[in-house]
Structures are given as structure tokens and as C-alpha cells.
Amino acid sequence: MYRRSGTTGRARKLLIGAAATALLGTALAVGTGMSNAGENCNGLDTALRNNLNFIADQRANPDALAEARIANRQAVVDLIQQRRVTAGCTAQVHADRPAAPAPVNPPAAPANPPAAPANPGGGDVPAGAPANGEVVCKGSTVTLFNEDAAPAASSGTFPIGTTLRVTNLDNNKSTTVKVTSPSGSCVLLNNAAFEQVREPGKFLIRRAVIERVG
């Protein structure tokens, strides 16, 4: 009888201990779950938003190391998302509006900006224009524009009233004309002037010498 009573007492103690352990484990699980869902979610959400803002800012203002920084922060974001899932966080977290790219300072204006070229239709010769008799527009070809008038030229380099001599080196013929209108080329000759220096059947002077003579 004594032995059976002792065995029964030990068994009861083991049962009571197991029940207490199970109850304590349940309490801890419930407590931890409530803490993660309530208190820790706020911190995780804030950390997530901060990292998303950092990534957005790097994308808006990239530099040589931006790609590496974004990759590192994305790894942190993935880890935080895993912890939020475990904690039961359900809030939708997004980056705030990304910062606008930093303005690029415009280049400083030169201390002495170059003078603007003279109006092709004006009268004054631009500063630095070649002197009389100097060969100009070296290497330029010469063609014609359709104008039924006395021999004349148009130019985008010299103002109206300038006198130019154009020589065709392929036949050594020359014509001296005044600029009467503006154009986008160094020199264009009108029909009458071009006929004075052209080769038969050709509408382009490839080897020309152009001189400013007045």
C-alpha cells in the first residue's frame, strides 16, 4: 500500500508539471503574437517606409554608387517584409513622394562673350571679316539660285553690298559680283553670274576660289 501511494503521488506531480508547462507556453505564444501584431508592427512599418524612401531618393538622384546602394537597401526591405509577415502586419506601406532631382547649375557665362555676327542683310562688315583681296570660304563649293537679274550673289557670311570675286579653277573663269540677298551658304551665284564661270552642263563649281574685294 505504501509503495502504490508513492507511485501515485509522483505521477500526479508529473501531470501537474506538464499541464503548467503547457499553460505557460500557450500564454507566451499568445503574448508574443499580440506584441508583434500591435507594438512591433509600428516599428517594422516605419523601418520599411524609411528604406523605401531611401531607394526612391536614390532613383530620383542617381550617382555612380546609386545602383549598389539600392541593391543593399532592397535586401533590407525583403528582410523587413518577411518579419512583417511573421508578425502579422497588414498595413500597406509605400514610399513617400520621392524628392525632386537636384537642379543642375547652368554653366557660367564667359567673361567676354563673343560678339554676335552681323545680320546677313545689314550693311556693316562683321568684326574679323577678311580684308579686301583675301581668299575666303576656302574649300567651299559654289552653286546657283534661280534669279533672272544682273549678275549677283547671295551669302550667309557677308552682308548685302559686299563685293566678291568667284573663280572657277576648272576653267579659270571669274566673275565679280555684289551680295544682294542672304542665304545659308558662303556664296551662291544667280543665273547670270553662274553662266559667266560655269562649265557646260555643270551646276556646281567644285574647285572655286572666293575673294572679298569690296
DSSP secondary structure string for all residues of 39-81: IIHHHHHHHHHHHHHHHHHHHHS--TTHHHHHHHHHHHHHHHH
pLDDT digits (tens, 9 = 90+) for 9-40: 555 544 444 443 443 343 333 333 334 444 48
Considering 20, 52, 87, which residue would you say is the last residue of a domain?
87
Contacts of the segment 47-51: beta carbons below 8 A, 24+ positions apart: 47/80, 48/77, 48/80, 48/81, 48/84, 48/93, 49/93, 49/94, 49/95, 49/96, 51/76, 51/77, 51/80
Residue 145 lies in a domain: yes
Residue 112 lies in a domain: no
Considering 87, 113, 148, which residue would you say is the last residue of a domain?
87
Residue 204 lies in a domain: yes
Residue 45 lies in a domain: yes
Burial of 65 (0-12, 13-18, 19+ CB in 10 A): exposed
pLDDT at 110: 59
One domain for residues 74 and 140? no
Q: Is the pLDDT of residue 209 over 50?
A: yes
Residue 109 lies in a domain: no
Residue 125 lies in a domain: no
Considering 31, 64, 87, which residue would you say is the last residue of a domain?
87
Per-position b or e across 91-104, b if 16+ CB within 10 A of its CB: eebebeeeeeeeee
Residue 50 lies in a domain: yes
pLDDT band at 201 (very low <50, low <70, confident <90, very high): confident
For residue 54, the Cα-to-chain-centroid distance in whole angstroms is 22
Residue 188 lies in a domain: yes
One domain for residues 83 and 139? no
CB 77 within 8 A of CB 55: yes
Q: Please tell me what DSSP assigns to residue 157.
A: S
**Calpha distance 67→63 (Å, rounded):** 8
Average predicted confidence (pLDDT) for the chain: 75
Residue with cell 557660367: 108
- In terms of residue numbers, what domain contains 178? 134-212
pLDDT at 180: 94
Number of independent structural domains in the chain: 2
pLDDT band at 119 (very low <50, low <70, confident <90, very high): very low
CATH, residue 170: 2.40.40.10
One domain for residues 78 and 6? yes
Q: Which three cell numbers stand for residue 39?
A: 507594438
Share of the chain above pLDDT 90, in %: 31
Share of the chain above pLDDT 70, in %: 64
Residue 102 backbone dihedrals phi, psi, to 5 degrees: -65, 135
Closest alpha carbon to 166 in 157, 148, 178: 178
pLDDT band at 135 (very low <50, low <70, confident <90, very high): confident
